[in-house]
Structure 1
Amino acid sequence: MPLHIKTPLLASSALSLAAGRSIALKMEALQPSGSFKLRGIGHACEHYKARGAQRFISSSGGNAGLAVAYAGRALAVPVTVVVPETTPLRARQLLDLEGAEVIVHGASWQEANERAQSMIGTADAFIHPFDNPLLWEGHASMIDEVAESGARPDAVVLTVGGGGLLSGVVEGLQRNGWGDVPVVAVETRGAASLGAAAAAGERVTLDAITTIATSLGAKQICARAFALLGQHPIRPVQVSDAEALDACARFLDDHRVLVEPACGASLALAYGAANILAPFNTVLMIVCGGSTMSLAQMQDWQQRAS
């Protein structure tokens, strides 16, 4: 049995009414680790354990790190997660609860990642947060589940950070014969590495990440996600932090599920930017989750944004 669960596919009356079209939700926030990341990371961890890995090393204090920690505990493999200094205390506590060794290093994910890479020994497996074909293969299983239901959407809406979810969803669409289904790829304006790459015609590195949606904080999109811009119908879209936060609050009221701003960015298209969805009658939204989000954090960010 895989480490992830088959998540509900819900028809959302509230979001459908707000957007003026049929909205279905793939509820990845209900994964045991709190986000879609467990699909691909669980798949990768099982693969590396079968090849003899005696420790998993990760460089994320957010959703990816928690997915690695959960998978390691389930597979009885020790886990070390290197997190940057900006990682919230709540995230570190959740990693501790899963039994992971937590090392704090650097002011950004890039610095934490360099430290994690330097620690890799011959018996270790490094679990990248988003740039690994095993992750994309695992993430694609969410589209397999949608296809099994027979609910073919006119478009899929998802959030983009480093590009792992985008790469996995497109792989899932293509392997289920849905290669013509467009993907609306949403970023917050302070972390729009996909949008910048699409505009430049090449992968570019952002000068800085200036969004509260820190899960989207990859300064450069992965090579696979960039290549998909020329291989699949993908529409990059950007929203503000305030729009993402508002969507989080409204989604909590509508579906009683708390998600992080990175997830709220996608939901914002239904709540406040429905014109972007105008060409589509039926839309699938990936509710990607948010392992470390709390109500107090959301309310604090809302006060700052007001």
Structure 2
Amino acid sequence: MEDYLQKILRARVYDVAEETPLEKAKNLSKKFENNIWFKREDLQPVFSFKLRGAFNRMSQLSKEELNKGVIASSAGNHAQGVALSASFLKCRAVIVMPLTTPVMKVRAVESHKAEVILFGETYDECYGKALDISKKENLTFIHPFDDPEVIAGQGTIGLEILRQSQTPPDAIYIAVGGGGLIAGVSAYVKAIWPDTKIIGVEPEDACAMTLSLKANEPIELESIGLFADGVAVRKVGETTFSICKKNIDEMVTVSTDEICAAIKDVFEDTRSILEPAGALSIAGLKKHVVNNQLKNNNLVAIACGANMNFERLRFVAERAELGEEKEAMIAVGIPEKAGSLKLLCKTLGSRSLTEFSYRISEGKTAQIFMGVEVSNNNDRELLTAEIKRGGFDCHDLSNDELSKVHLRHMVGGRLPRAISQISKGEYIELLYRFEFPERPGALMRFVNSMRPEWTISIFHYRNHGADTGRIVIGVLVNDSEIQAWNEFVKKIGYKNWDETDNPAYKLFLGA
């Protein structure tokens, strides 16, 4: 460890990297009753800490090695660090990246004039390809984590944290992929302030370090999740593991939903958007604080990267509420008869809906898919109990991956044949879109203002976080009541569109 302390103190990083701020997370601190700080490595020139280790390693290459060039394998952040370092040192850089790498990261590497080769689906496949090219073209391989000089470069983050802290942190939370970041930071921190706990954080589906520490040897995973692509590594480094097994106090694993919730937390505190791997430490901090009931501690989380495709935000926003335990997804069975929907809404009381999908069906029972705002998991259990006491069949789908990813978008179907045949000549199905001010009670006001004899046949609503709510409603109305329906639409006062003749409705939903 003394050797690494010297390496970190001598590390050359600031020719290209910057000393990043240690910022107080005011909202998160208040929410969790601890003093929480973000080490803002997302503010580096390449929006990631990886620049430190890459440049420290490359700055020590000989003139002959620089003339021949370097090669690296990376999912993106190390690639950008190597590419920018090569540009500064004026040497050739070849980067092998997985085919699954976000386009934004590929373009960022190419912007530094590096040569990009897309190969394989995981880091390990890229790693093998890069080593082959390295031997054939005599290029120096710059390892993303399992190299003493790379580790030392990352260790300068630990140096800055202790220098910037008014008092030594009680714990530092660090994202773990191959282990370079946590190895470097822990080597410095444990040498200077051994009482500070080092907490590693990994995704549940990419937890190579967690399993390796339990086995007391590096373990290779058979498969890994790719959501947090910056830490999607099958096997940690031999060098990093030897350091980590001495210095890591505890490992925490988190779910995809918990990572999404952490991205939202950082945004609310800083108005910055981290990538999944970048928010990993914050997700781990939150989970560790709750599980251990920590109060009034000084806690630091390293926000280590912000390279994420904009298109991915749709998924992050969708899952963040579930990760915060603020939304319950439930399936409710209601009697297929007029008035049942109103009774369910009455049972829900003042709770705010985030989603509501219903299509009339054949048989005695209809299934409704709902998203409902809740306070926490205990409140979610209370909600399902209340619905069951109201006489409805209820299933909690909040932890069901099929429902979260697919089913919520697939609820629907055509008007059942039996209903359309019975209704012919007496009832017709009208389809309307409505927009209304998104405020508590507005949706319930709409439902309660409808006539009980009007059978609702379609209902879909989703809270999009805007100031305007949008619903689609289908209703079976008697021929003699068309005028009454038109009067209702006018009286309700909400902006609306008649979609009964919409071709898409006729193709997918109509009788």
Q: What TM-score do you get using the length of structure 1 for normalisation?
A: 0.92
Give the match for residue 174 of structure 2.
158
Q: Which residue of 235, 250, 266 maps to 2:281?
A: 266
Is 1:219 aligned with 2:234? yes
Give the match for residue 183 of structure 1.
198
C-alpha contact (below 8 Å) 2:187/2:243 kept by paired residues: no
C-alpha contact (below 8 Å) 2:75/2:230 kept by paired residues: no
Give the match for residue 144 of structure 2.
129
Tell me the distance in 2 between the aligned counterparts of 1:49 and 1:251: 41
Tell me the distance in 1 between the aligned counterparts of 2:266 and 2:273: 7
Query: Which SS does the other structure have where 1:180 is aligned?
Result: coil
1:211 Cα shift? 4.0
Tell me the distance in 2 between the aligned counterparts of 1:76 and 1:186: 36
1:103 corresponds to which letter in structure 2?
I
1:201 Cα shift? 2.6
Tell me the distance in 2 between the aligned counterparts of 1:229 and 1:71: 27
1:158 corresponds to which letter in structure 2?
I
C-alpha contact (below 8 Å) 2:172/2:301 kept by paired residues: yes
Give the match for residue 73 of structure 2.
59
Tell me the distance in 1 between the aligned counterparts of 2:291 and 2:113: 43
Q: Which residue of 108, 114, 136 maps to 1:100?
A: 114
Q: Which residue of 209, 227, 245 maps to 1:194?
A: 209
Query: Which SS does the other structure have where 2:60 is aligned?
Result: helix
Give the match for residue 19 of structure 1.
32
Tell me the distance in 2 between the aligned counterparts of 1:20 and 1:49: 51
Aligned pairs for 1:5-154 (under 5 A) are 5-49=18-62, 52-54=65-67, 55-120=69-134, 124-151=139-166, 152-154=168-170
C-alpha contact (below 8 Å) 2:179/2:244 kept by paired residues: no
C-alpha contact (below 8 Å) 1:245/1:298 kept by paired residues: no
**Superposed CA RMSD:** 2.1
Tell me the distance in 2 between the aligned counterparts of 1:148 and 1:11: 15
C-alpha contact (below 8 Å) 2:279/2:304 kept by paired residues: no
Query: Which SS does the other structure have where 2:182 is aligned?
Result: helix
Q: Which runs of 5+ in 1 are unaligned?
A: none
1:276 Cα shift? 4.2
C-alpha contact (below 8 Å) 2:186/2:244 kept by paired residues: no
C-alpha contact (below 8 Å) 1:63/1:290 kept by paired residues: no
C-alpha contact (below 8 Å) 1:258/1:294 kept by paired residues: no
Q: Label 1:157 to 1:50 Cα distance change in 2 as closer, same or farther (>3 A).
A: farther
Tell me the distance in 1 between the aligned counterparts of 2:196 and 2:52: 22
1:270 Cα shift? 4.4
Greater share of strand residues, 1 or 2?
2
1:103 Cα shift? 0.8
Give the match for residue 294 of structure 1.
309
1:159 corresponds to which letter in structure 2?
A
C-alpha contact (below 8 Å) 2:18/2:44 kept by paired residues: yes
Is 1:253 aligned with 2:245? no
Mean Cα deviation higher: 18-27 or 219-228: 219-228
1:25 corresponds to which letter in structure 2?
F
C-alpha contact (below 8 Å) 1:251/1:257 kept by paired residues: yes
C-alpha contact (below 8 Å) 2:27/2:268 kept by paired residues: no
Deviations 1:140-197 (A, max 9, x none): 111212222353111110110110111111122134x113321110001010001111
Query: Which SS does the other structure have where 1:183 is aligned?
Result: strand
1:67 Cα shift? 0.8
Larger Rg: 2
Tell me the distance in 1 between the aligned counterparts of 2:310 and 2:131: 34
Mean Cα deviation higher: 91-100 or 115-124: 115-124
1:51 Cα shift? 6.3
2:95 corresponds to which letter in structure 1?
V
Mean Cα deviation higher: 21-30 or 266-275: 266-275
Tell me the distance in 1 between the aligned counterparts of 2:291 and 2:46: 31
Q: Label 1:180 to 1:224 Cα distance change in 2 as closer, same or farther (>3 A).
A: farther
Query: Which SS does the other structure have where 2:65 is aligned?
Result: coil
1:294 corresponds to which letter in structure 2?
N
Tell me the distance in 2 between the aligned counterparts of 1:210 and 1:83: 17
